[in-house]
Structure 1
Amino acid sequence: MNKITSEGDVNTSSNRKNWQDKNINYETSCVLRDDEDIFLHQSLSTPCLNVLKKSKGIYLEDISGKIYMDFHGNNVHQVGFGNEDVKNAIINEMEELPFSPRRYTNNSAIILAQKLSDKTNGVLNKVLFSPGATSSIGIAMKLARLVTKKDGFLSFWDSFHGASIDAISLGGTAHFRNGIGSLLTGCEHLIPYNSYRPIFDEDTFLTILDYTLEKHGDIAAFFMETIRNTEVEIPSYKLMKGIRDICTKHNTLLILDETAIAMGRTGKFFAFEHYDIDPDIVVIGKGLGGGIFPISALLTKDEFNIGQYTSLGHYTHEKSSVGCAAANAAIDFIDNNNILEKTSNMEKFVLDRLNILKNKYEIIGDVRAIGLLFAIELVRDRKTKEKAESEADRILYNCLDLGLSFKVSSGILTLSPPLIIEKHELEKALEILEESIKIENIKLFGGNNNE
């Protein structure tokens, strides 16, 4: 099967073609052809799967009228699509201050910066905004060099921190590096610690990190996703504490990329709150703009406010009045509707259901959940842990047939519904998922003795 698998959808598989042949009408195919003709082609985005006309709440609607629950959403949909509070805030700000030029500030930007700082109890009390998290990662790299007087950066292979040259140099995802040529010097990578498919144990990983920072001697910052979004890799409390201590020991900044997982996704506003640690810098984005407006934020400590003579960001839309109004409304919605508590309560329900599925279907090798971010790892053999990649691909398209969309990556189903989802909607999605998993389990193992 010819396919491409990485951070997003499989976009060249025969299963995809079969799904489109069955579901895409003439009008949709014409629009897809126009899209393919006018846009530069790139992996993971070309060709497009379908054409949308509406997104609302937890749902997408394509131009033929088919409805999907969106458990993917590019992680921007924490407060749901078309959130009325966010829309109204944007409209009101557009009436008053549609654009805030450089040299000036505005109340919406100051209010947002203070709200974000307050979420860290004032520990991270210096803020910069940018139009997107990739830009904020670039700012973090520059600031780390200024603070530490070191040049190097350390991150994980297979990590993703954005798509610009500096961000792909830092990241370790092949699809974003292939064919690009020389990348930013000074970027080093470690084999990631993986709790569900361990190459080494936690103590060994911490020893490797400690050794690398000591022997290299010029690492300004260690970048990592607090919780790996694509595979829902959830580090232990001990591991995160150890990473924090080792970075401090070597005067290396710990920079956490929470672009996809902040804003309550894990049941906490910031995922690092689960570990009782404070990063030196944290980057958030995606859902910050309420699923409508692109905006990102970098938060850091007062002691690192040393860039007065360097343009760390200086982006045209850095203090976007409209973007900040959207973000303020999104945060207020989360706070006023007890979204964090609701998300934490949903976690147990989801994990219980996933464990029931794991006990029923041999194709499920592992399940993981934190807040409303969960993953199902599919395997052809639990002993060898051979990934069931083609089966995962078929499950995706079968679920799309049944009205459920999510992300697939290397045999792992990753689901992140809007945090506004109701329990009955979540139950329906899990029923759809089980129906599709059962089909592939029977194909592989000829039924299940546990049913």
Structure 2
Amino acid sequence: MTQNIKPTHFRSEGDVNTTPARQAWNASMDDERTQALLKRDSEVFLHQAMSTPCLDTLEAAEGIYIQDAKGKKYMDFHGNNVHQLGYGHPHVIKRVQEQIAKLPFSPRRFTNETAIECAEKLTQICGGELNRVLFAPGGTSAVGMALKLARHITGNYKVVSLWDSFHGASLDAISVGGEACFRQGMGPLMAGVERIPPSVSYRGAFPVADGSDVHYADYLEYVIEKEGGVGAFIAEAVRNTDVQVPSKAYWKRIREICDKHNVMLIIDDIPNGMGRSGEWFTYQAYDIEPDMLCIGKGLGGGLVPIAAMVTKDKYNTAEQISMGHYTHEKSPIGCAAALATMEAIEQDGLLDKAKADSQFMREKLLEMKAKYPVIGDVRGIGMLWGIELVTDYESKARAYDEAEAVLYQCLNNGVSFKVSQGNVIQLSPPLIITREQLTEALAIFEEAIAKVCKDFNYI
């Protein structure tokens, strides 16, 4: 089993770029063309954590697969959460090609029918009172717009967020984000941010015997009352990275607290929106409605970068303030991709499919948990699942080396995914995956888990 390793902040996003296992993987890239491309990449791109060096080079992507320069295919169970429709969905490509031929760009201060139709469709699938839209080039920008609007509406600049949360990599986004690896060495950031512990079922800061989590919501009210001047609470309804799934009671209480104290509830559904939860948006699984919704990633169908901030008509009061002012504010191409994505999800019945596949994944993963002692916890919703690996059930010590071994064996066998917090295997397959493909991927994963249990002497 893993020796007692002191956790470090860089593990929070599963950074495995500097370990011996990663070096061994790099050495295994023996194809001359691959090595040449990796060398050119290293020489021209600015190096950064979690991106450098690259795992491999890609030359094709179709459906659930990405393909490297040697022709090897990986089932992509990560996809940076843009691949709800997989890659190269024909309906999205068709709509984007048609749009490029007709109107490729719309200068700011002009509008276009595609952008209007996209915004109208977006408010339709949101339902409720969420009926005002601003588009942005990426999710981080959508978060920034929501934070600005909350200040304008409430007159308060303070924000409460959750530890270990991720809301983007810009300075304002890392200011409200809860992962220390993104803030290290950055100096003073946006003032007025308070963080509270997230609702964590398996290893929470304040665990209780019955496993309930409403007391984590109550902590929000304590901070709001003690701090004063809080304008917004921002969180993912379900945390994507290490897959934390709060109860409905938790979110009901959060909504009540925000209403009571006139705090804007901002839901960041950038990674999980567009059907990953089995609902259009994850908050809909909790029967609540945010004051502002931030979406992105999968909105562009794995083809075009586009994001949006959606809010309520009663907050349409910022006519004299530039909330976004982005060059691609009403991008015809981005909106064509987003509109086609929503159409494809409906036409292909992917929301219901995600719910059915979710139950299948739950059953298979829980069977593995009962069988393999390295699996400490299984949790998920829709097509988003976290498998937490531990050295033993009692201490819940994180099994870092074991998780890394599982990752590289699965990569060798054609399944790519992300490791979060150093020990949580995150599986987020495309919603279009067939049951046969899903079964094959889970078999590859189980084979890797079984090998790790044997290699690390688990009984």
What TM-score do you get using the length of structure 2 for normalisation? 0.95
Q: 1:162 aligns with which of 150, 159, 168?
A: 168
Could you tell me how far 1:185 is from its partner in structure 2?
0.7
CA offsets 1:145-164 (integer angstroms, 9 cap, x no match): 00001110110121110111
User: In the alignment, is the contact (CA less than 8 A) between 1:59 and 1:69 conserved in 2?
Assistant: yes
Could you tell me how far 1:124 is from its partner in structure 2?
0.2
Distance 1:172 1:245 in 2: 23
Paired residue for 2:268?
257
Paired residue for 2:329?
318
User: In the alignment, is the contact (CA less than 8 A) between 1:58 and 1:421 conserved in 2?
Assistant: yes
Do residues 151 (structure 1) and 162 (structure 2) align?
no
Paired residue for 2:387?
376
User: In the alignment, is the contact (CA less than 8 A) between 2:29 and 2:35 conserved in 1?
Assistant: no
User: In the alignment, is the contact (CA less than 8 A) between 1:24 and 1:50 conserved in 2?
Assistant: no
Q: 2:145 aligns with which of 133, 139, 145?
A: 139
Paired residue for 1:54?
60
Do residues 86 (structure 1) and 98 (structure 2) align?
no
Distance 2:299 2:246 in 1: 24
Q: 1:111 aligns with which of 103, 117, 121?
A: 117
Q: CA RMSD in A?
A: 1.3
What letter is aligned with 1:131? Answer: P
Matches within 5 A, 1:229-308: 229-308=240-319
> Using a 3 Å threshold, how does the CA distance of structure 1 residues 326 and 99 change in structure 2: closer, same or farther?
same
Could you tell me how far 1:8 is from its partner in structure 2?
4.6
Paired residue for 1:435?
447
User: In the alignment, is the contact (CA less than 8 A) between 1:350 and 1:369 conserved in 2?
Assistant: no
CA offsets 1:155-212 (integer angstroms, 9 cap, x no match): 0121110111111101011221111111011111112221111222424323321111
Could you tell me how far 1:22 is from its partner in structure 2?
2.1
Distance 1:419 1:142 in 2: 33
What letter is aligned with 1:279? Answer: P
Question: Any unmatched runs of 5+ in structure 2?
Answer: none
> Using a 3 Å threshold, how does the CA distance of structure 1 residues 24 and 208 change in structure 2: closer, same or farther?
same
What letter is aligned with 1:314? Answer: H
User: In the alignment, is the contact (CA less than 8 A) between 1:144 and 1:221 conserved in 2?
Assistant: yes
What letter is aligned with 1:361? Answer: Y
Matches within 5 A, 1:417-428: 417-428=429-440
Distance 1:123 1:371 in 2: 25
Could you tell me how far 1:122 is from its partner in structure 2?
4.2
Do residues 101 (structure 1) and 107 (structure 2) align?
yes
Do residues 69 (structure 1) and 62 (structure 2) align?
no
Could you tell me how far 1:441 is from its partner in structure 2?
1.1
Distance 2:138 2:269 in 1: 13
Distance 2:106 2:217 in 1: 46
Matches within 5 A, 1:286-365: 286-365=297-376
Aligned residue for 1:307, secondary structure, equals coil
Aligned residue for 2:151, secondary structure, equals helix
What letter is aligned with 2:134? Answer: L
Could you tell me the percent identity over the aligned residues? Answer: 48
Question: Any unmatched runs of 5+ in structure 1?
Answer: none
User: In the alignment, is the contact (CA less than 8 A) between 2:376 and 2:393 conserved in 1?
Assistant: yes
User: In the alignment, is the contact (CA less than 8 A) between 1:265 and 1:419 conserved in 2?
Assistant: yes
Q: 2:221 aligns with which of 210, 217, 220?
A: 210
Aligned residue for 2:411, secondary structure, equals helix
Paired residue for 1:30?
36
Paired residue for 1:187?
193
Distance 1:300 1:26 in 2: 51
CA offsets 1:71-118 (integer angstroms, 9 cap, x no match): 000000001101111111111000010000011001111111111111
> Using a 3 Å threshold, how does the CA distance of structure 1 residues 67 and 445 change in structure 2: closer, same or farther?
same
Distance 2:315 2:404 in 1: 46
User: In the alignment, is the contact (CA less than 8 A) between 1:43 and 1:175 conserved in 2?
Assistant: no
Q: Which moves more between the two structures, 375-384 or 112-121? A: 112-121
What TM-score do you get using the length of structure 1 for normalisation? 0.97
Paired residue for 2:20?
14
What letter is aligned with 1:125? Answer: N
Alignment size in residue pairs:
447
Do residues 178 (structure 1) and 184 (structure 2) align?
yes
Do residues 399 (structure 1) and 410 (structure 2) align?
yes
Distance 1:443 1:64 in 2: 29
Matches within 5 A, 1:383-394: 383-394=394-405
